[in-house]
Amino acid sequence: MHDICCGRSHPLGATIRHNGVNFCVYSKNCTSMELLLFESEDAKQPSRVITLDPATNKTYHYWHVFVPGMKAGQIYGFRAHGPFDPSRGLRFDPSKVLLDPYGKAVAVPENYCRSAAGCAGDNTGTAMKSVVCDPRGYDWEGDLPLKQPFARTVIYEMHVGGFTRHPNSGVPAEKRGTFAGLVEKIPYLKELGITAVELLPVFQFDWQDAPTGHVNYWGYSPVSFFAPHHAYSSSKDPLEALDEFRDMVKALHREGIEVILDVVFNHTAEGNDTGPTLCFKGLENGAYYMLDGDGSYANYTGTGNTLNGNNPIVRRLIVDSLHYWVEMMHVDGFRFDLASILARDETGCPMKSPPILWDIDSDPVLAGIKLIAEAWDAAGLYQVGSFIGDNWKEWNGKFRDDVRSFFRGDNGTVQNFASRLLGSPDIYGHEEREPEQSIHFITCHDGFTLNDLVSYNEKHNKANGEENRDGSDYNLSWNCGAEGPTGDHGIERLRIRQVKNFLAVSLISLGAPMLSMGDEVRRTQAGNNNAYCQDNELSWFDWDRTNSHADIFRFCSHMIRNRIRQAMSRDSALSLNQLLRKARIDWHGVRLFQPDWSHESHSLAMTVWSLDDRVMFHLMFNAYTDPLDFQIPSVAEGPKYVWRRLMDTSLQSPDDVVSINDADIISVGSYPVQHHSMVVLVARFSASQSGAPHAQSA
């Protein structure tokens, strides 16, 4: 009976036993801990306060208690008493209700108030609170993470809320902007052909962490690393959010689509010394955050604080969170926001062998789970090509920049462009790693949409309320002749061409491609390149564009399917270096075997054979302002073996991309590639023709 009353120090969080709930929370310097129980999330006072006795309810630095008779659905929080001495990293404030760092669900009051958690005084009635839940009872019906090979992966980065929140989405009003709403649109994702969705943050976040009059739309402001965001559930019941998320995962898995979560283990919504006390700051500030010598917050994230990822307590929290989302929620992978933060030690210095990154890389539960790093941070640590670990893939920001520069017509871009096509061996060739170590993209949530990349020279962020100072000024964009929407048909045709160029290069290059939500229908943010605080039609997916830009959708869908078919024929066991050593590639300019690598060059061509020599491709790229006549190599003798035009971004739909069986024969020795466009020719050989000779000049 004594053990039942005292509780146990493991596991952390609220754990349902057969006759009650065990609570455990970490706090080293707390002098007194209270468990608060509530009748509802809006309750102004707790219905019961359980004071934990440090003599019987504390083991080492863990406070624990067992409450008999309690069940799932109980709303709770903590109050931690202790010294308030910021210079020593101590910020205890017993007037604040604190979330459980291991809480699996969060209840949000109608009048939640972030500012009340940052001011003096009691905030009980306006605080988020944790909810006891039992994640073990869900019926997965045999579902497991899919563990699809990266070689056949096409990622679609998307915002759960923005995907279906628009009134024209066709989703029932009660499901718009929710996990259930996303399920309604799975047929669209299947038609597009992507194999994985990468969801912007779905951990519970503080939407009030934004400038006055705005909301935090993207969700990079976490308050929990276990609980799904309450507003993405179509039910007000916090426990329903768990099931709705799992229903979504299960439905996507049934259609062969993986679920990757964008996770934020680099900072929290608690901000700096003027920010609110919501959870970690009030429990053990000095353990959870990197602090300078005077107790102020180190800010390597640009958000006010930096999570102390290599502290043992935080390391355990991160790994436990990843385990939970894989084992209990069945997700297929994670993209780590500002992942280079996790390479810093507790003083902020980069480490040669960061413990937390190796913890994740070598963890058996995470074996086969996709791990993707945004390999930089806001303080200048840039690790693209040098991120630690054997299993991590990296967002390849250099692919984005070099491909943008090439098609914009910048000088000195051809050599880098060629390297990006081949999986960036100049960045990754020093390791014997798979080609998909490079996760390449042209656009993502952060920056211009693809439509805006070809429609604006400058950012237009005044709606964010920061006088256009926010957002990057380094966009490598080109408006094609007019800023923003235009009635000029020539400019519009050029923009369509450029959109297709970017999509096509993403989907033919070695590596794993990532597309951004709505780029396949030219989603626009009216030139806003930092729409983090725009939870409105500026950011939402406008479903009318699936009709008005059906040509781009068709082009993108065809290119995805062509890519996956080619990937299925490749030996996925080959490293990038092995693949390039085995590959048969000839480089050309407008004349065969005469590539122009000069500073002023804006054109390139290449002939590539499949590894079994049964398919040959000839690719031509023209980023020049005028058409260029490219010589094309001859194919094997006989009328059966000819070049067919698989794709030409200058042509209108449906001629811009076709299946090989419908492709037109190209029988002449040259091909006119229009300005700012690219062309792919293909020739197929029978089994008896495998080992066909290298292409020859026509």
Q: Which amino acids are annotated catalytic?
A: 337, 374
CA of residue 242 relative to chain centroid, distance? 21
- Cis peptide preceding 11, ω within 30 of 0: yes
* 3-state helix/strand/coil string of 248-317: HHHHHHHCCCEEEEEECCCCCCCCCCCCCCCCHHHHHHHHHECECCCCCECCCCCCCCCECCCCHHHHHH
DSSP collapsed to 3 states, 554-589: HHHHHHHHHHHHHHHCCCCCCCHHHHHHHCCEEEEC
**Residues forming a β-bridge with 315:** none
Gap between the Cα atoms of 12 and 210, Å rounded: 31
Instruction: Give the integer Cα–Cα distance in Å for 42 and 111.
Output: 8
Torsion, Cα of 579, 580, 582, 584 (10° steps): 130
Q: Which of 311, 212, 206 is nearest to 264 (CA)?
A: 206
77 forms beta bridges with 36
Please report the DSSP string for 338-349 in residue order. Answer: TGGGGGB-TTS-
Q: What is the largest CA-CA distance in the chain?
A: 90
Residue 526 burial (CB count, 10 A): 18
Which contiguous run of DSSP H or E holds residue 520? Answer: none
Phi and psi torsions of 103, nearest 5°: -65, 135
Q: From its phi and psi, is residue 298 left (phi > 0), alpha (psi between -120 and 50) or beta?
A: beta
The bridge status of strand 258-263 relative to strand 196-199 is parallel
Give which of 437, 364, 551 is closest to 153, Cα–Cα: 437
- Say if residue 49 is exposed, middle or buried (CB neighbours under 10 Å; 0-12, 13-18, 19+): exposed
Rounded CA-CA distance 38/150 in Å is 46
CB neighbours (10 Å) of residue 114?
Answer: 23
What are the φ and ψ backbone dihedral angles of 313, each rounded to 5 degrees? -65, -40
Show the tokens assigned to 345.
Answer: 């030690």
Q: How many residues does the chain have?
A: 698
Q: Where are the beta strands (DSSP E) in 108-251?
A: 129-131, 155-158, 196-199
Distance CA 281, CA 290 (A): 11
Beta bridge partners of 130: 76, 106
Query: What is the chain's alpha carbon radius of gyration, rounded to the nearest angstrom?
Result: 27
Question: In this structure, which amino acid lies at residue 434?
Answer: E
Which residues, in sequence order, are bridge partners of residue 33?
A: 52, 80
Alpha carbon distances (Å) from 79 to 30, 41, 92, 576: 10, 16, 9, 53
The rounded distance, in Å, linking the Cα atoms of 374 and 394 is 6
